[in-house]
Amino acid sequence: MKLTILFGGASFEHEISIVSAITLKGKLSGFDLSFVFCDQDHKFYLIEASKMKATTFSRGEHKKMPQLSITNGSFSQKTMFSSVEHTGTVLNLIHGADGEDGTIASLLDFFSIKYIGPRTDASVFSYDKRYTKWLCVAKNIKSVEYEVLSSKEHTNINIPYPIIIKPARLGSSIGVSIVRNESELDYALDVAFEFDKTVIVEPFIEGVKEYNLAGFMAKGEVYFSIVEEPQKEEFLDFEKKYMDFSRSEKVLKAGISPELEVKLKRAFEKVYKNLFEGALIRCDFFVVDGKVLLNEINPIPGSMANYLFDDFKSSIELLSNSLPSNKRVKVNYEYIHSISQAKGK
């Protein structure tokens, strides 16, 4: 199978994307893999597989490699006398801005490039935590209580302490703080507003049960990963999540009842269907008093949540053979021709 892994991007999660790409190089060995790196200036480079190391990018060695442009249906590499087209399915592995906000999805759609990843509308509703909350209301999915604060104007927070502060458009627990009393609030807000002008405030639920479930749709059927109960202390901070992005060993299935597993899968399907087709996503759920609450949608999970699947390679191949396609409008200028004929011109 021919697969191009697209990674990097201009976001706070740039380095995490690099870690994910390096991990998938090992997990997808045996595929015909290409690696396309998007740097912080939005230049694309074709990276040699042997150079897929973190230091290649931290030392700027990627700039010595072939630079690519995008043409209809492929990435293109100019040579001295012609150009080489790099075709094949793209796996969008850019975390955060560019990759998860719909920018790359729109670019790939514009150039009719086949890709695994969330489409533009799915990206919009999962990248911004405010819109995810609205999606929950529209799809009748239970979620955690929340309030929204803006850097331009603050209102009193009505949710009782302890609370958790999150930038609205950022993942990997960057800028996230637990606030136990009012004296800690200003500092937590200053940290969050460094990353986004809008933040989400939610109650911090001590000892809450959390479960992660990934999946995708292929040939009209949703394929699920195992359910994982992540091991954590208070919450999954950046360092813990950064290490998780390099995970490749399969994790243990959570010890939950069949009834709870069914509830989690039903909630996942509500999130996924009629929005995330073409993507492999991971949903993180809380379970409070027997109720399943959506905590977060990960439209491009770290290392594609490979560690949750019994056969990750087969899952990617199955998904790549079931991607949605957009039909291009054929322009024939009939309207202009009819007007011209009517005017005798």
Tell me, what CATH number does 158's domain have?
3.30.1490.20
The residue-averaged pLDDT of 119-129 equals: 95
On whether residue 342 sits in a domain, the answer given is no
Q: Which of 125-129, 209-213, 327-331 has the lowest mean pLDDT?
A: 327-331
Chain centre to alpha carbon of residue 217: 16
Structural domain contains residue 325: no
Does 43 lie in the same domain as 152?
no
Would 330 be classed as within a structural domain? no
Model pLDDT, residue 249? 72
pLDDT single digits (tens) 239-271: 555 455 556 677 889 999 999 999 999 999 999
pLDDT computed for residue 330 by the predictor: 86
Has residue 338 got a pLDDT over 90?
Answer: no
pLDDT of residue 49: 96
In terms of Cα–Cα distance, which of 145, 148, 280, 150 is closest to 204?
Answer: 145
CATH number of the structural domain spanning residue 283: 3.30.470.20
85: confidence class by pLDDT, cuts 50, 70, 90: confident
The predicted model gives 151-156 an average pLDDT of 76
Residue 337 lies in a domain: no
The pLDDT, as a whole number, for residue 234 is 56
Give a yes or no: residue 84 inside a domain.
yes
Q: What is the pLDDT of residue 170?
A: 79
Q: State the Cα–Cα distance between residues 136 and 3, nearest whole angstrom.
A: 33
Q: What is the mean pLDDT of the chain?
A: 91
- Are 133 and 281 in a shared domain? yes
136 and 165 assigned to the same domain: no
State both tokens at 114: 């086949």
Q: Is the pLDDT of residue 325 over 80?
A: yes
Of 164, 188, 203, which residue sits at a domain end?
A: 203
Contact assessment for residue 78 and residue 69, using Cβ atoms and an 8 Å cutoff:
yes
Q: Are 212 and 311 found together in one domain?
A: yes
Q: Identify the pLDDT of residue 140.
A: 96
Write down the pLDDT at residue 81: 78
The proportion of the chain whose per-residue pLDDT surpasses 90, expressed as a percent, equals 76
Residue range 6-15, pLDDT digits in tens? 999 999 899 9
Number of domains within the chain: 3
Cα-based torsion angle of the residue sequence 216, 218, 221, 227 in order, rounded to the nearest 10 degrees: -30
* Distance, CA of 300 to chain centre: 2
Dmax over Cα atoms in the chain, in whole Å?
Answer: 78
Does 192 share its domain with 162?
A: yes
Within-domain flag for 335 = no
| 138 lies in the same domain as 267 | yes
- Measure CA of the first residue to CA of the last residue in the chain; give whole Å: 53
Instruction: State whether 183 and 41 are in the same domain.
Output: no
Q: Which domain holds residue 253?
A: 124-142+207-320
- pLDDT, mean of residues 1-22: 95
171 shares a domain with 38: no
Confidence at residue 88, expressed as pLDDT on a 0 to 100 scale: 87
- 249 and 273 within one domain: yes
Please tell me whether residue 69 adopts helix, strand or coil conformation.
Answer: strand
Question: Do 172 and 214 belong to one domain?
Answer: no
Rounded CA-CA distance 108/106 in Å is 6
Return the exposure string of 300-337: e unless at least 16 CB atoms fall within 10 Å of the residue's CB, then b: bbbbbbbbbbeebeebbbbbbebeeeeeeeeeeeeeee
Q: Is residue 86 part of a domain?
A: yes
pLDDT in tens, 25-80: 999 999 999 999 999 999 999 999 999 999 999 999 999 999 999 999 999 998 87
Q: Are 280 and 243 within one domain?
A: yes
Q: What's the pLDDT at 104?
A: 97
Q: Which of 188, 203, 218 is the last residue of a domain?
A: 203
In the prediction, which pLDDT does 235 show?
A: 54
The pLDDT tens digits of the residues spanning 178-221 come to: 999 989 998 999 999 998 899 999 999 888 999 999 999 999 99
Distances (CA, A) of 234 to 132, 165, 183, 206: 23, 14, 20, 8
CATH code, domain carrying 69: 3.40.50.20
Q: Cis omega (within 30 of 0) on the bond before 203?
A: no
Where a domain ends, among 100, 116, 132?
A: 116
Range with the poorest average pLDDT among 133-142, 148-157, 288-297:
148-157
pLDDT in the model for residue 243: 53
Residue 252 belongs to some domain of the structure? yes
Same domain, 9 and 57: yes
